C-alpha cells in the first residue's frame, strides 16, 4: 500500500488534438514508466481507430513514479478521460476518481466547447483545476489569448496559466512540480469499510472483464470477496494491481490508490462503470454518489447491404459489446432494407465510431437509417411508452401526445458567427438563452433545443457555417411535449419505412418536399411510372413522379458480335445487383444513404 500523502490522482482535460496523448507520452517518458525503446507514439491510445482519429474512446490509467526536485518520492496516477460529449458520464466517473485535473488548451485554437463542458464537470466535482496552454512551439500559437480565456473561465490571472509544449518537452518539468504542489493528496479513511469506484472496464480475451478502480476508503486485498453495490453481484478479487502501464499484481490496494481488478467475470455488462465495490463481509453503508445506468440517446437502424450478412452483423455487434456496455440493439425488420438491428448509441460520435468499426474491422457493408431519438408517447389511457423508431409512432387518434428529449446546447464560437448560428439554432426550434462573451472575440451561446433536431446534420451544418471554428456540447434536460407528426414516404403507393421520420408539424411539408425531390433524382426510371409521395397519415403533402423509361435497347448487334453485347448487358446487370426491391420498385442502395445526406439549404 502507498501512503496517501505521496499520491496525486489527476486527469487531463483537453479537446481532440489539443495534445493530451502527446503530453501523456511525455509524462510517461519523464517518469521512466516507458523506456525509450517501448515508446510508441501515444501509448495510451491503443485502439487503431483512436490512433487514427486522434481521440480517446476508452479511458485508461497509468501509475507514474516521480521524484521531485526536492527528492520527494511520489506516485502520480494519471487517469485518462474520453474526450467527447457522448461519453460525458464516463468522463464524470474518471474525474470522480481524481483530486485534480489539468485543463489543457491548444495555444492556437483556444478553448473549445467540450473542454469547457468537461472543465465545468471537474469544477463541479470539486477538483483542483490547473490550467495549461499547450503547443507554444507552434508558429500560429497565441498563448496569451488562450491563457486569457482560461483565466476568464477559472478565475485568477493569465500569468498563472502554465505554458508548455508536450511535443518538445518544454515546460513539462514545471507542470509536474505544479501538479504535486497544487493537487491535494487523497484523504480516504483507511479504517472505514471498503469503497472503491469502478471508473472504467474493458474486456480481455484471456482474463475476462478488467475493471479500473480507485480505492476511496478502506483497502482491497487480493482474494477478497467483493460486493458490487449497484448490481448486487458478489465476486472474488482474483487479481489486483497497478498499471505502470504494464499490469503489476500487488497484494493490496490502499485508500487513494488507483489500479485494476480481475474477478473472472466474462460479460462486460455485469460490471458497471460508476459502481461502488465494497467487501461482501463488511459492506459500506452507502455507495459512492453518481452512479447511472448507461442510457442510449441516439438510435439508428443498421442493415447489411447483403441480406446474407445478417448473422455476421449480429456477431460483430456482440463482439463490440464485449468492450462497450453502452451499445444496445434489438432486431428490426424493414420492408425496404430487410433484416437488421435498431441500435442505441450514447451520441452521434459513438454511433459513427460503431458504424465505422463494424465496416472496417468486421468487413461489413451497411446501410444506416437516419438517426432518431427516443420519443415518449402518451397513450389514450394515459400510459407512457417510449418509441425508438418512427414506425412505432401510433396514429394520431391512438395517442394523446408525444414528447421529445431536449438538450441544453452550448456553442463556443468566434463572435462573427453568432448571427448564422442563431439562425441555424432557431430554425431548428432552438430557444436561445445566455449569450456570454468570454473575450471580445469568443462567445458562449447557450440554448435549449430538441435533441432530434441536432442528431442528424446539425453538427455538420454548424461546422460549415462557421468554417469549422465553432464547437458544440450538449446535455440532456428532460422531455417536453411537442407537436410532432410522422411523415411517411411512399414509393408507388407503398410506405418505405426506412425513409419515415418524426418531425415537427411546421417542418413536415419542407421535409416531404425535400425527400420526394431527392428520391426523384436518385431512383432510376423503371418499367412503369413510380409516384413518390410524402404523407402524414392519409394526407399527401408532396408528390413527384419518376416517369417510366421508354427506351432501353441496344441499337445494333455489332456485326454478329453476340459476345460483346452479352458482356455489356452482363455489366449493366451487375450494376442492378446494388438495387433493393421495394415492392416492385428498384431502389439503388445509394439512395438510402444519399436521401438522408446533409444539404446546405436545409
Partner 1 sequence: MTPETADAFANHAAAYVHIPFCSAVCPYCDFAVVAGRDDLTERYVAALCAEIMGSEPWRPVQALYVGGGTPSRLDPGLLAMVLDAVERRHGIAGDAEVSLEANPEDFGPNFARTLRAIGFNRVSFGAQSFSAPVLSRLGRRHDAAQIEHAVLHARRSGFTSVSLDLIFGTPGESLDSWQHTVERTVALEPDHVSCYALTVERGTPLGRAVGNGAPAPDPDVQARAYQLADRRLGAAGYGRYETSNWARPGHECRYNLTVWAQGEYLAFGNGAHGHRGGVRFRNLRRIDAYIEAVERGETPRVGEETASGWASEIERLFVGLRRTVGVVPGSGGVALLAAPEGERLSQAGVIEVREGRLRVAKPLLGDEAMRAVLGLADPEVRENAASADTVSLDA
Enumerate binding residues for partner 1 (CB under 8 A).
527-528, 547, 549-564, 566, 569-570, 572-573, 576, 584
Q: Which is nearer to partner 1, 73 or 552 (CB)?
A: 552
For the chain, the first-to-last Cα distance in angstroms comes to 60
Q: From the CB of 524, what's the least distance to partner 1, in Å?
A: 12
Q: From the CB of 576, what's the least distance to partner 1, in Å?
A: 7
Q: From the CB of 568, what's the least distance to partner 1, in Å?
A: 9
Give the burial class of 277: count Cβ atoms within 10 A of its Cβ; 0-12 exposed, 13-18 middle, 19 or more buried: buried
Q: Which is nearer to partner 1, 545 or 597 (CB)?
A: 545
Q: From the CB of 304, what's the least distance to partner 1, in Å?
A: 21
Q: From the CB of 548, what's the least distance to partner 1, in Å?
A: 8
Give the burial class of 25: count Cβ atoms within 10 A of its Cβ; 0-12 exposed, 13-18 middle, 19 or more buried: buried
CA 475 and chain centroid, separation = 12
379 within 8 A of 472, measured Cβ to Cβ = no
Q: Which is nearer to partner 1, 230 or 579 (CB)?
A: 579
- Report the C-alpha gap between 18 and 115 in whole angstroms: 10
Residue 578 in grid coordinates: 446494388
Q: From the CB of 551, what's the least distance to partner 1, in Å?
A: 4
Q: From the CB of 545, what's the least distance to partner 1, in Å?
A: 14
The set of long-range contacts for 47-56, using a CB threshold of 8 Å and a minimum separation of 24, is 49/353, 49/356, 49/357, 49/360, 53/16, 54/16, 54/17, 54/21, 55/16, 55/82, 55/83, 55/84, 56/20, 56/21, 56/80, 56/81, 56/82, 56/83
> Strand ranges (DSSP E) for 229-337?
234-236, 239-243, 247-250, 252-253, 258-262, 276-279, 298-304, 328-334
Q: From the CB of 574, what's the least distance to partner 1, in Å?
A: 10
Residue 288 has what DSSP assignment? P
Residue 464 in grid coordinates: 460549415
Q: Which is nearer to partner 1, 437 or 558 (CB)?
A: 558
Q: From the CB of 585, what's the least distance to partner 1, in Å?
A: 11
Q: Which is nearer to partner 1, 103 or 546 (CB)?
A: 546
Among 393, 315, 302, 374, residue whose Cα is nearest residue 593: 302
Q: From the CB of 520, what's the least distance to partner 1, in Å?
A: 16
- Report the C-alpha gap between 52 and 369 in whole angstroms: 26
Neighbours of 416 (CB within 10 A): 12
Q: Which is nearer to partner 1, 37 or 556 (CB)?
A: 556
431 within 8 A of 448, measured Cβ to Cβ = yes
Residue 586 in grid coordinates: 428498384
Residue 508 in grid coordinates: 413536415
Q: Which is nearer to partner 1, 232 or 560 (CB)?
A: 560
Q: Which is nearer to partner 1, 463 or 525 (CB)?
A: 525
Helix (H) or strand (E) holding 340: strand 338-345
Q: Which is nearer to partner 1, 423 or 557 (CB)?
A: 557
Q: Which is nearer to partner 1, 71 or 560 (CB)?
A: 560
Amino acid at each position: 500500500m502507498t501512503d496517501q500523502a505521496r499520491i496525486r490522482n489527476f486527469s487531463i482535460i483537453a479537446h481532440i488534438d489539443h495534445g493530451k496523448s502527446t503530453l501523456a507520452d511525455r509524462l510517461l517518458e519523464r517518469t521512466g514508466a516507458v523506456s525509450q525503446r517501448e515508446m510508441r507514439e501515444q501509448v495510451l491510445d491503443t485502439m487503431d481507430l483512436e490512433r487514427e482519429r486522434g481521440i480517446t474512446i476508452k479511458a485508461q490509467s497509468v501509475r507514474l513514479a516521480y521524484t521531485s526536485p526536492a527528492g520527494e518520492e511520489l506516485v502520480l496516477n494519471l487517469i485518462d478521460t474520453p474526450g467527447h460529449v457522448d461519453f460525458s458520464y464516463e468522463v464524470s466517473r474518471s474525474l470522480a476518481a481524481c483530486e485534480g485535473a489539468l485543463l489543457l488548451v491548444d495555444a492556437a485554437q483556444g478553448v473549445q466547447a467540450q473542454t469547457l463542458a468537461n472543465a465545468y464537470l471537474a469544477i463541479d466535482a470539486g477538483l483542483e483545476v490547473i490550467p495549461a496552454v499547450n503547443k507554444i512551439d507552434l508558429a500560429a500559437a497565441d498563448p496569451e489569448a488562450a491563457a486569457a480565456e482560461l483565466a476568464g473561465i477559472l478565475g485568477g490571472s493569465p500569468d498563472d496559466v502554465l505554458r508548455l509544449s508536450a511535443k518538445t518537452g518544454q515546460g513539462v518539468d514545471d507542470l509536474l512540480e505544479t501538479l504535486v504542489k497544487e493537487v491535494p493528496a487523497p484523504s480516504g479513511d483507511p479504517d472505514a469499510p471498503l469503497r472503491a469506484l469502478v471508473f472504467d472496464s474493458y474486456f480481455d480475451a484471456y482474463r475476462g472483464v478488467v475493471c479500473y478502480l480507485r480505492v476511496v476508503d478502506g483497502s482491497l486485498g487480493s482474494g477478497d470477496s467483493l460486493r458490487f453495490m449497484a448490481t448486487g453481484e458478489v465476486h472474488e478479487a482474483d487479481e489486483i494491481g497497478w498499471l505502470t502501464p504494464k499490469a503489476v499484481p500487488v497484494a493490496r490496494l490502499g485508500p487513494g490508490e488507483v489500479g485494476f481488478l480481475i474477478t473472472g467475470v466474462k460479460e462486460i455488462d455485469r460490471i458497471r462503470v460508476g459502481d461502488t465495490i465494497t467487501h461482501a463481509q463488511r459492506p459500506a453503508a452507502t455507495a459512492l454518489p453518481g452512479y447511472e445506468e448507461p442510457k442510449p440517446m441516439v438510435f439508428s437502424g443498421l442493415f447489411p447491404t447483403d441480406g446474407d450478412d445478417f448473422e455476421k452483423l449480429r456477431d460483430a455487434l456482440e463482439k463490440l459489446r464485449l468492450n462497450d456496455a453502452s451499445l444496445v440493439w434489438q432486431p428490426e425488420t424493414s420492408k425496404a432494407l430487410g433484416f437488421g438491428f435498431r441500435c442505441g448509441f450514447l451520441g452521434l460520435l459513438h454511433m459513427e465510431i460503431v458504424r465505422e468499426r463494424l465496416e472496417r474491422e468486421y468487413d461489413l457493408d451497411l446501410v444506416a437509417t437516419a438517426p432518431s431519438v427516443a420519443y415518449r408517447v402518451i397513450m389514450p389511457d394515459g400510459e407512457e411508452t417510449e418509441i425508438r423508431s418512427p414506425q412505432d409512432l401510433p396514429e394520431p387518434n391512438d395517442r394523446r401526445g408525444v414528447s421529445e428529449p431536449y438538450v441544453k446546447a452550448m456553442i463556443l464560437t468566434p463572435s462573427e458567427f453568432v448571427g448564422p448560428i442563431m439562425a441555424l439554432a432557431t430554425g431548428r426550434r432552438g430557444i436561445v438563452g445566455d449569450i456570454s462573451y468570454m473575450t471580445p472575440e469568443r462567445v458562449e451561446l447557450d440554448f435549449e433545443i430538441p435533441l432530434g433536431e441536432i442528431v442528424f446534420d446539425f453538427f455538420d451544418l454548424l461546422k460549415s457555417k462557421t468554417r469549422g471554428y465553432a464547437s458544440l456540447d450538449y446535455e440532456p434536460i428532460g422531455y417536453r411535449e411537442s407537436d410532432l407528426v410522422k411523415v411517411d414516404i411512399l414509393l408507388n403507393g407503398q410506405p418505405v419505412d426506412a425513409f419515415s421520420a418524426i418531425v415537427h408539424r411546421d417542418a413536415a411539408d419542407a421535409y416531404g418536399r425535400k425527400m420526394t425531390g431527392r428520391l426523384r433524382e436518385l431512383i432510376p426510371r423503371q418499367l412503369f411510372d413510380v409516384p413518390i409521395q410524402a404523407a402524414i397519415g392519409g394526407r399527401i403533402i408532396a408528390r413527384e413522379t419518376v416517369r417510366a423509361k421508354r427506351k432501353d435497347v441496344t441499337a445494333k448487334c455489332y456485326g454478329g458480335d453476340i459476345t460483346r453485347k452479352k458482356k455489356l448487358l452482363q455489366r449493366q446487370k451487375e450494376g442492378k445487383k446494388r438495387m433493393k426491391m421495394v415492392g416492385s420498385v428498384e431502389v439503388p442502395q445509394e439512395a438510402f444513404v444519399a436521401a438522408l445526406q446533409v444539404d446546405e439549404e436545409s
